[in-house]
Amino acid sequence: MFCTKCGFNAGDTKFCPKCGAPLGQNKSATTENTPVTEEVTNTPVSENATNVEANTFNDGFNQNANTSTTEANNGFTQPQAFGQPQAFGQPQAFGQQPNGGFDQAQYGTVNQAPKAKKKWPKVVAIVVAVVAALAVIGYFAYPFIYSLVSPKAKAETALKNLGKNVDSYVDEVLENGLTSTDTQVANETSVTLKALEFNDEDYLEYLNAKTVKWDIQSDVENGEMSGDIAIVDEDGDEVVTIEMYSDGSYVYFSCPELFEESFKIDVDSVYSSYSSYSAMLGSLSSSGSLDLEQVEQYSDEIKAVVGDVLKGYNVFVENLEYKKVDNKTFKSENGNIKVTEYEVTVTKDALVKGFNAAVDALYSDKEISSYMSLLTTFSGSSKDSIKSSFESELSSFSPVSFNMYVNDKKEIVRLSVTGEGNDGEIFAEFIGKKDPTDYIHVGFNYESDVIDLVVKEDGDSYDINLKAQGEDLDLTIASKFTKDGDKKVTLDNFSIVGTADDESFDIELSGQSEIKDYSGLKYKKSDFSGASNIEYLTSSEEQTLALEVLSNIDVLKKVVSEDLIDELFGSAISTSTNSSYTGTYTAADYGISLQINADGTGVLTSDGSSIDVDVTISDGTIVVANAYDSTDYISYSVTFTDTTMTWTDSTGSSIVFTKGV
Tell whether the model's pLDDT for residue 283 goes beyond 80: no
For the stretch 604-633, pLDDT in tens is 998 889 999 988 887 788 888 888 887 788
Q: How far is CA 107 from CA 52, 101, 120, 623, in A?
A: 9, 11, 32, 150
Residue 5 to residue 90: CA distance in whole angstroms: 12
CATH fold of 539-659: Lipocalin (2.40.128)
For the stretch 189-243, pLDDT in tens is 999 999 999 998 898 988 999 999 999 999 887 889 999 999 999 888 999 999 9
Of 374, 383, 321, the C-alpha closest to 355 is 383
Of 472, 485, 418, the C-alpha closest to 446 is 418
Q: 334 in helix, strand or coil?
A: coil
Q: How far is CA 85 from CA 79, 89, 91, 112, 369, in A?
A: 11, 7, 12, 14, 88
For every residue of 352-383, DSSP letters joined together read HHHHHHHHHHHHH-GGGHHHHHHHHHHH---H
The crossing angle, in degrees rounded to 10, of helices 348-364 and 383-393 is 160
For the stretch 135-163, pLDDT in tens is 555 555 444 444 444 557 888 888 888 87
Domain ranges of the chain: 27-117, 539-659
Q: How far is CA 324 from CA 147, 338, 345, 400, 443, in A?
A: 11, 15, 12, 16, 24
Residue 433 to residue 558: CA distance in whole angstroms: 50
Partners of 115 in beta bridges: none
Query: Does an H or E element contain 390, and which?
Result: helix 383-393
478 touches 493 (CB < 8 A)? yes
22 touches 15 (CB < 8 A)? yes
Check residues 372 and 24 and name the one with the higher pLDDT: 372
pTM of the predicted model, to two decimals?
0.59
Of 489, 490, 488, 495, the C-alpha closest to 509 is 495
DSSP-derived pairing of the beta strands 532-533 and 262-266? parallel
DSSP 171: H
- Mean pLDDT for the stretch of residues 392-399: 92
Check residues 571 and 332 and name the one with the higher pLDDT: 332
